Amino acid sequence: MANRTERVEDAPAHPQASRSVRDLPAAERPRERLALRGPAGLSAAELIAIVWGTGGAGRSATELAEEAVSRHGGVAALGRAGVAELSRQAGVGEAKAGRLAAAFELGRRSVADWPVGQWTIRTPRDVADRLLVDMGRLEREELRVLSLNAKNVVQRVSHVYAGNVSTSLVRIGELFRDAVRLDASGVVLVHNHPSGDPTPSPEDLHLTAEAIAAGRLLDLEVLDHVVIGHDAWVSLRDRGVAFDRLRAPPHGAPRG
């Protein structure tokens, strides 16, 4: 009898089961709260819990999400984490990490992919607000050109170049190709600095000067050149670069 008791006591404990959202009171379940309050009424952890659906490592989806937000220092930093980094958290794994990364990417695209015909440029901030999320964390430089009509409505966003943006590599004529085809009235140049610092480089200034000179020959106004960093941006017009014949001068200093 004693031996049997010892065997029972020495037996390995059952692994702790994951806490289910169903174990929570109805008023605390993320999906029920979503139905009652809408997505804006939920915390970031609750929204992530809905994306994940289940918990792991003995914790509910909400508890896992709270830990994820905390260990990354907030939702913005969490959204920049890759699948490999996210999956290192106990209870997350590659499947949950992939779903979360996909959700964040969808959110970024929804911000950047507004209907082009409904995007009007009145100030440099109208450019930055639209493209900062999309371009601020790119790992390499990209140069895009916004073609505008006479009312400053964006007709097309052209991805002109990816790599090291400089006049030695970028063909100035490529900047205006789509604008000429669209019979646009002006263009705005936009590119990012992967370093995160949007301070214009000498190459940026040279590219801008070359573009302005080419635009004069084509009767196309170069309205601005906006440089995007991680969480900041700079308008070269606001920095005092001479852009001539501007239709609707944006005002304000460079933002960061």
DSSP string over 47-71:
HHHHHH-S-BTTB-HHHHHHHHHHH
Structural domain includes residue 36: yes
Tell me the average pLDDT across 203-226. 93
Q: Based on the domain organization, do 61 and 163 belong to the same domain? A: no
Q: Is 70 exposed, middle or buried (0-12, 13-18, 19+ CB in 10 A)?
A: exposed
Q: Based on the domain organization, do 178 and 137 belong to the same domain? A: yes
Q: Does residue 232 contact residue 256 with C-beta atoms inside 8 Å? A: yes
Structural domain includes residue 183: yes
Structural domain includes residue 52: yes
Task: Categorize the per-residue pLDDT at 39 as very low, low, confident or very high, splitting at 50, 70 and 90.
Answer: confident
Structural domain includes residue 191: yes
* pLDDT tens per residue across span 10-26: 444 444 555 555 565 55
Residue with the bigger pLDDT between 119 and 249: it is 119
User: Residue 138 and residue 180: Cα distance in Å, rounded?
Assistant: 28
Q: If DSSP codes are grouped into helix, strand and coil, which group holds residue 219?
A: coil
Residue 139 confidence (pLDDT): 83
**Which range has the worst mean pLDDT, 13-22, 64-73, 231-240, 245-254?**
245-254
Provide the domain limits for residue 132. Answer: 116-235
Which tokens hold the place of 221? 């106004």
Q: Based on the domain organization, do 127 and 183 belong to the same domain? A: yes
Name residues whose C-beta falls within 8 Å of residue 65's C-beta, 6 or more positions apart in sequence: 44, 45, 46, 48, 49, 52
User: Residue 59 and residue 68: Cα distance in Å, rounded?
Assistant: 12
Model's pTM, two decimal places? 0.63
Instruction: Work out how many domains the chain is built from and give that number.
Output: 2
Residue that terminates a domain, selected from 93, 112, 131: 112
Structural domain includes residue 178: yes
* pLDDT tens per residue across span 163-182: 776 655 788 888 999 999 99
Q: If DSSP codes are grouped into helix, strand and coil, which group holds residue 15?
A: coil
Residue 117 confidence (pLDDT): 64
- CATH number at 193 reads 3.40.140.10
Residue with the bigger pLDDT between 9 and 100: it is 100
Structural domain includes residue 20: yes
Q: Based on the domain organization, do 59 and 107 belong to the same domain? A: yes
Residue 12 confidence (pLDDT): 43
Task: Categorize the per-residue pLDDT at 213 as very low, low, confident or very high, splitting at 50, 70 and 90.
Answer: very high
Listed residue (175, 200, 171, 172) closest to 187, CA to CA: 175
Task: Categorize the per-residue pLDDT at 208 as very low, low, confident or very high, splitting at 50, 70 and 90.
Answer: very high
Reported as type and span, the H/E element at residue 221 is: strand 221-228
Q: Based on the domain organization, do 95 and 129 belong to the same domain? A: no
Tell me the pLDDT of the chain averaged across its residues. Answer: 81
User: Residue 225 and residue 236: Cα distance in Å, rounded?
Assistant: 6
User: Residue 89 and residue 84: Cα distance in Å, rounded?
Assistant: 10
Q: Based on the domain organization, do 83 and 104 belong to the same domain? A: yes
Q: Based on the domain organization, do 100 and 166 belong to the same domain? A: no
Q: Does residue 248 contact residue 152 with C-beta atoms inside 8 Å? A: yes
Q: Based on the domain organization, do 26 and 63 belong to the same domain? A: yes
Which tokens hold the place of 21? 């959202």
Among 7-21, 64-78, 232-246, the range of highest mean pLDDT = 64-78
> In the predicted model, is pLDDT for residue 247 greater than 80?
no
Q: Based on the domain organization, do 147 and 99 belong to the same domain? A: no
Residue that terminates a domain, selected from 87, 112, 137: 112
Residue 23 confidence (pLDDT): 60
Q: Is 212 exposed, middle or buried (0-12, 13-18, 19+ CB in 10 A)?
A: middle
Residue that terminates a domain, selected from 86, 112, 138: 112
Structural domain includes residue 255: no
Structural domain includes residue 250: no
Q: Does residue 221 contact residue 245 with C-beta atoms inside 8 Å? A: yes
User: Residue 25 and residue 32: Cα distance in Å, rounded?
Assistant: 10
Residue with the bigger pLDDT between 87 and 8: it is 87
Task: Categorize the per-residue pLDDT at 256 as very low, low, confident or very high, splitting at 50, 70 and 90.
Answer: very low
Q: Based on the domain organization, do 39 and 128 belong to the same domain? A: no
* pLDDT tens per residue across span 69-112: 998 988 888 888 889 999 999 989 899 999 999 988 888 777 66
Residue 10 confidence (pLDDT): 40
Listed residue (150, 123, 128, 126) closest to 238, CA to CA: 123
**Which range has the worst mean pLDDT, 46-55, 115-124, 129-138, 209-218?**
115-124
Q: Does residue 184 contact residue 220 with C-beta atoms inside 8 Å? A: yes
Q: Based on the domain organization, do 100 and 150 belong to the same domain? A: no
Q: Tokens 């999309």, residue?
A: 134
Which residues sit opposite 162 in a β-bridge?
142
Q: Based on the domain organization, do 102 and 174 belong to the same domain? A: no
